[in-house]
Every structure is written in C-alpha cells, then in structure tokens.
C-alpha cells in the first residue's frame, strides 16, 4: 500500500541504520513529505546548532502521493538547518528520485552524523549500504551519477548528488538529481558536503498498491486533460517557465542591475522564443504530462560542447536581467555552470549582481576582484564569478558565504545594497508594485522566497467573485479581496491561503505547476482530498487537509521562533520603501511600498495565522493545532 513505506534513520559516523514504520499519529498530524520532515527538523535539531555540525540532521523524503497515479507525483523534499541562513533549510525537486525511493520501500530518510571519508549511500529494495566515494570527489553531480550507475552496473538507479560547490561548503550549494533537477535553495548541498556525503543512490522494484485503481486512473485522466489543455499548460509545454520573463519585464516587475531598475530594455534576445535556436526537444518528470524542460546544446569557445536542460525563469534573471546581460547564450552557459558545480542559480546570480553594484559604486575595486571588471553586461565576468564562487577563489570565496556574511567581510555599507530576507537573496522580481508578493517574501519560513507563498494569480485582475470562490475554499473567508494587485486589501489572506496550499503540495509530493500557483484553474484542497482517497484509501476532507497544512507551517514557524526570529525579521530592504520604481507601465512606474500599509498587512497576516504581534504562535493556536507538546 501507499501508506506502508518506512523511515530509515542513518548514522554516517557509525555507518549504521535502523528502519521504523511511520506511526499513525505522525501520519495523522503531518501526512508525509515536508510535513514530517519539519517534525524531524524541530524535534531532532538542537537549538542554536551549527549547520555544519555532524548533529545537524538531513531529511530526504518522498511526498505521500509520489509514485501513485496522481499527476506530477514526483517531488523530492530535502531539509536540514540551513548553512546560508542558520534557519530552515528546505528545498524541493522533481525528476525520478522520489518515486524510486518509494519503490525501494522508504518515504523518509533521516541522515545524521558525518563520515570520516567521502561516502555515498546505496539503498536497494530496503537494504542500505555505505560505499566509498573518494573516487567521486571533484566530479560534477552528473558525472557522479553516471559513475555510481556504472559501478553498480544498473542504469536505472536514481541518484541525489552534490558538486564541488557542496564539497567546498559554499553556503548555497544545491543537491541535484538527473541533468536538470535541483534542490536549489538554502544550501543543503553544503550540509551534505559537511557530512562528506557525496550522493544517495536508490533502486527499488516493489510496487505501490493503489486503493481504487480504476477510479484513480479515471480521475487523474480528467485532471491531466484539464491541466494540459489549459492556457497555462499549453504555454508551459512550449516554453517552460521562461515565458514569464516577457510578461514581467514588459510590465516592469523584474529587478535589473541588482535593484537599480525594474525593466531591462532591448532584451528580446533573452526571451523564451530564443530557446528554439538551441532546443532539440523537451522532457518531463515522473508522471507529468507537461514536459516543461527543454533539452539544448551549444558550442562555446571556452566551454566546448554543452548539453543542458532548461533554463528556468530564475536563470533568465540570474544571468540576464540582474547582471544586465542581454545574450541568451550567457544564460545557457550560466545555467550549465551552476548545474555542473552544484550551485543555486538564484543565489549565485543575486550575489554576482550585488557585487557588480558594489563595483560600480567603488566599494569593490580591481584589487578585490583580481582585475576582473564587474561591469553590467560583462558576460566574461559573470561566468568567471560563477567558477570562482564554486571553487572559493578570491572574491568568490567571500560571495560563497552568502549575503549577510559576505557583507560583514566587505563592510563599507555594502549591506544596504543587498536584496535579501533572513539571509537569503530574492528572486529577480521587483515587488514594489505588488504588496501581496512583497508580504510573501518577507514572511516566508526559509527566507526571501517565491515558492513558500506566491499569490501569482493576483497579477491577473481576476474578478472579485472569482477571487471569492478561490479564497473561501476550503475554509470560509468573508474579508476584503481586491482585483488590483497594487492594493493592500485582502492580500494578507491570499498569502496565508497560498502558504497552506503550497505546504500541502510539498507534503503530497506534487509539482506546484499543477496547483493554483500560476493558474487559477488548477488543483487545490478539493482535488487533493480526492487524489488521496482514490490512491491511498485515506478519507481526509479538504478542511482537514487545511488544518494539517496549518499545523506543519506553524511547526516551521516554531523552529524560526526558537532560533530567534520575530517581527523585526519579517521585513524587506529599505530600498523597497525608499526608492521608487524608475521604469515600467504607468501602473507600476514611480511606486514604492507604503510602510504603514505594509505593517498593517503584516498585522492582518499574523492574525490569520493566530500569532501575536511579534509573530509568535499563541498558546491558543498551538492548542488548536495539537502542537502544545512541542
């Protein structure tokens, strides 16, 4: 059955493990995926612990619907205390690893301790081996995956692996599986590096019994047809997330040259249509009909023949708008390098863009850059800095520490030019004209974040009756709602609602592109309830799923509170409030966030959660969610 998978507690120091069932109480309270991972993070991590300590547990999980007949049920969640922020480390990736983990008999891995030499873990139909990985050190994630499959003589093995950025403890190193999939944010790759864990390989041949297979097939066919035939679905199948850039840039909702502008003129060359000159097809993750990733090739004088997958919208910002580059090849090569070295593309681009602005202002000079001219649009400098960060060379060693530590080392008011929240850099978006998106990144549990709560459908000017139907489900909401994305009215509830939707999506292991993220027509709690029943036999109402989502999100907030986070940390850079947007359409030009209205919106957000004025969950909220004992 889908509910019969187990937890493996793995100790690298002792090279031992034990296997336990997932208790009924744990399932009832948190279901699986990110929910149970959050429980282990809170209960097995000592307050104030160094993220690079062997005592920092690493959680790897498959959501409860992964590997079933549910659409896009492929997501892997990874969690630990973040070396980037010293707060919640959490990332989510697609591909084929999570289904393979379930086929091998496990929903959750909890990896503790640290090896005395480089190792990789091999999980094979319930059995766990510790294998030497000194020969894999220095390999790219992709090379390591190939080497492991060759060594074990099985090309069907799925692998999570890190690159040299993780080995070098770059604080925003990522974890990768396949050519494209990345657990990109918060530096979990560096946690694996600190444990001298190069990879986790898994092979499973057991099946997952579906509770009601005929009904599950019929229901999923209905859902996949609706998703694939929607306008959003058709666009994603053609361009992937790259389509977003043309819309946001033309409107004036991208941050350019770090944060100096909100539009990049004459940048048609980095819009989605350019992929046609390099692409030779698309691929998808396990169980997905969208196939939103392009496969591309190009020849580079410096890097030779390059084969890659993507790029995503984030790379268009990281190696395009943020650094003032207007060449699609720069984006493709930047995407290739971060994938090769195992770096978070978003954090890498943001750190480089920040360094470029510091160079422009004379805070960084040729002395600090080793003669490299960090000038807007300088492709050579952008790509060189990616390599220096991964290898921790020169200025790259400073930037590899992430925003706040780098600013402390550089000094000279450099921190005022950072665009970060809680120590994690922002997406290349400009939220000054969009209060709901601004609140979402200010309050997200892992730092500045477009995947914890992003009410992107707020940009669509949906009629109020449509908004009311969406946001009054599965629990009633009678407060204000506005079709104007510039308004502050009702936006706190939208952020709260999307937080619960997205954490439940991660708990179940479904892709966010299949839910009400970028389209109002896709899945929500009602669909989740049906999918759970047909696939697992669990009868959980949409309202009960909402409560589980709330419980898991509040547990993440409790972790933050325990680490010292309060209202003062749910904030944005002063530039959001003090510098008007210089470009864009008339509706967004000349706009700043209003401090008073933003603070009122933050008060409303806390009230929806049941938190006090300082952002701490109240005793009543903890009692309502059965979190008193924690």
| Same domain assignment for residues 180 and 326 | no
Domain of 189, CATH number, reads 3.60.9.10
Residues 325 and 371 in one domain: yes
Q: For residues 401 and 40, give the distance between their C-alpha atoms in angstroms, rounded to a whole number.
A: 26
Supply the CATH number for residue 389's domain.
Answer: 1.10.569.10
**Is there a domain that residue 1 lies in?**
no
Residues 185 and 88 in one domain: yes
Cβ neighbours for 301, distance < 8 A, ≥ 6 positions apart: none
Mean pLDDT confidence for 150-170: 98
DSSP letters spanning 294-309: EEEEEEETTTEEEEEE
- Mean pLDDT of the chain, nearest integer: 97
Q: Say whether pTM exceeds 0.95.
A: yes
- Asked whether residue 340 is domain-assigned, the answer is yes
Phi then psi for 416, rounded to 5 degrees?
Answer: -65, -15
Sheet harboring 304-309: ordered strands across?
279-283, 293-300, 304-309
Q: Among residues 425, 454, 479, which one ends one of the domains?
A: 425
- Domain assignment of residue 475, yes or no: yes
Q: Please report the pLDDT score of residue 498 as a whole number.
A: 98
| Pair (79, 129) in one structural domain | yes
Q: For residue range 322-350, what is the model confidence (pLDDT) as tens digits? A: 999 999 999 999 999 999 999 999 999 99
The last residue of one of the domains, among 397, 425, 453, is 425
> pLDDT-derived band of residue 4, with 50, 70 and 90 as boundaries?
confident
Query: 630 pLDDT band (50/70/90 cuts)?
Result: confident
Confidence class for position 611, pLDDT limits 50, 70, 90: very high
For residues 374 and 439, state if they share a domain. no
Is residue 220, in this structure, part of any structural domain at all? no
pLDDT score recorded for residue 1: 58
Q: How many structural domains does the chain have? A: 3
**pLDDT above 90 as % of the chain:** 99
What would the pLDDT profile of 528-576 be if each residue is shown by its tens digit? 999 999 999 999 999 999 999 999 999 999 999 999 999 999 999 999 9
Average pLDDT over residues 29-53: 98
| One domain for residues 160 and 303 | no
Domain boundary among the residues 425, 449, 483 is at: 425
Q: Are residues 450 and 561 in the same domain?
A: yes
Peptide bond into 34 cis (omega under 30): no
Q: Report residue 493 CA to chain centroid gap.
A: 22
Q: How confident is the model at residue 629 (pLDDT cuts 50, 70, 90)?
A: confident
17 and 144 in a single domain? The answer is yes
CA distances, 28 to each of 125, 128, 416, 502 (Å): 26, 28, 45, 18
| 300-325: average pLDDT | 96
For range 173-195, the mean pLDDT: 97
Residue 228 lies in a domain: no
* 380 & 522 share domain: no
216: in domain: no
**CATH value at residue 444:** 1.10.599.10
Does 235 fall in a domain? no
Average pLDDT for 462-475: 97
Chain centroid offset of residue 59 CA: 15
Percent of the chain residues topping a pLDDT of 70: 100
**Based on the domain organization, do 367 and 303 belong to the same domain?**
yes
- Residue 445 and residue 420 share a domain: no
Report if residue 88 sits inside a domain: yes
Helix or strand or coil: residue 176? strand
Q: Quick check: helix, strand or coil at residue 467?
A: helix
Residue 272: the pLDDT is: 96
DSSP string of 526-541, one letter each residue: HHHHHHHHHHH-----
In this predicted structure, what is the pLDDT of residue 161?
Answer: 98
pLDDT digits (tens, 9 = 90+) for 371-412: 999 999 999 999 999 999 999 999 999 999 999 999 999 999
421 and 440: one domain? no
Q: What is the pLDDT of residue 291?
A: 93
Predicted confidence (pLDDT) at residue 476 exceeds the cutoff of 90: yes
Which domain, by its residues, includes 566? Answer: 435-624
What is the pLDDT averaged over residues 104-133? 98
């Amino acid at each position: 059955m889908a509910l019969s998978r187990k937890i493996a507690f793995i100790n690298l120091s002792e090279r031992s493990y034990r296997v336990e069932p997932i208790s009924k109480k744990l399932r009832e309270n948190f279901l699986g995926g990110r929910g149970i991972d959050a429980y282990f993070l809170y209960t097995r991590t000592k307050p104030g612990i160094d993220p690079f300590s062997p005592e920092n547990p690493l959680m790897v999980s498959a959501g409860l619907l992964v590997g079933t007949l549910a659409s896009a049920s492929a997501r892997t969640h990874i969690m630990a205390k973040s070396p980037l922020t010293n707060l919640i480390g959490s990332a989510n990736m697609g591909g084929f690893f999570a289904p393979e983990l379930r086929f091998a008999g496990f929903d959750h891995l909890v990896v503790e301790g640290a090896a005395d030499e480089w190792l990789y873990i091999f999980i094979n139909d319930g059995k766990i081996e510790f294998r030497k990985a000194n020969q894999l050190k220095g390999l790219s994630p992709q090379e390591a995956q190939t080497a492991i499959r060759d060594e074990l003589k099985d090309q069907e093995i799925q692998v999570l692996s890190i690159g040299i950025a993780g080995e070098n403890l770059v604080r925003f190193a990522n974890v990768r599986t396949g050519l494209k999939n990345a657990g990109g944010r918060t530096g979990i790759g560096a946690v694996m590096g600190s444990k001298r864990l190069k990879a986790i390989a898994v092979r499973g041949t057991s099946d997952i019994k579906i509770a009601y297979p005929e009904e599950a097939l019929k229901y999923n066919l209905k859902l996949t047809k609706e998703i694939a035939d929607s306008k959003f679905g058709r666009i994603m199948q053609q361009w992937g997330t790259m389509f977003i850039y043309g819309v946001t840039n033309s409107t004036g909702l991208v941050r350019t040259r770090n944060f100096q502008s909100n539009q990049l003129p004459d940048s048609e060359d980095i819009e989605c249509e350019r992929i046609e000159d390099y692409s030779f097809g698309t691929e998808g993750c396990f169980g997905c009909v969208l196939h939103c990733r392009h496969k591309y090739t190009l020849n580079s004088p410096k890097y030779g023949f390059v084969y890659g997958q993507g790029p995503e919208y984030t790379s268009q910002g990281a190696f395009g708008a943020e650094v003032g580059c207007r060449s699609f090849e720069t984006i493709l090569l930047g995407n290739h390098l971060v994938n090769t070295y195992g770096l978070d593309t978003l954090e890498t681009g943001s750190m480089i863009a920040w360094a470029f602005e510091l160079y422009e202002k004379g805070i960084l000079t040729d002395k600090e850059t080793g003669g490299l001219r960090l000038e807007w649009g300088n492709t050579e400098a952008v790509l060189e800095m990616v390599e220096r960060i991964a290898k921790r060379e020169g200025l790259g060693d400073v930037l590899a520490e992430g925003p706040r530590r780098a600013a402390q080392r550089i000094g000279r008011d450099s921190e005022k030019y950072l665009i970060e929240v809680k120590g994690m850099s922002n997406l290349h978006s400009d939220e000054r004209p969009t209060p709901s998106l601004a609140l979402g990144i200010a309050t997200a549990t892992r730092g500045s974040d477009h995947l914890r709560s992003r009410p992107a459908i707020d940009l669509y000017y949906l009629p109020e009756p449509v908004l009311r139907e969406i946001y009054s489900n599965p629990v009633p909401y009678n407060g204000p709602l506005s079709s104007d994305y510039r308004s502050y009215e009702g936006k706190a509830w939208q952020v709260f609602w999307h937080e619960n939707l997205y954490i439940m999506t991660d708990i179940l292991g479904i892709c966010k592109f299949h839910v009400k993220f970028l389209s109002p027509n896709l899945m929500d709690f009602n669909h989740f309830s049906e999918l759970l029943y047909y696939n697992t036999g669990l009868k959980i109402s949409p309202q009960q799923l909402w409560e589980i989502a709330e419980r898991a999100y509040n547990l993440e907030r409790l972790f933050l509170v325990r680490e010292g986070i309060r209202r003062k940390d749910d904030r944005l850079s002063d530039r959001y409030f003090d510098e008007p947007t210089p470009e864009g359409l008339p509706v967004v030009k000349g706009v700043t966030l209003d401090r008073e209205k933003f603070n009122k919106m933050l008060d409303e957000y806390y009230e929806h959660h049941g938190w006090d004025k300082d952002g701490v969950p109240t005793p009543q909220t903890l009692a309502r969610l059965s979190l008193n004992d924690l």
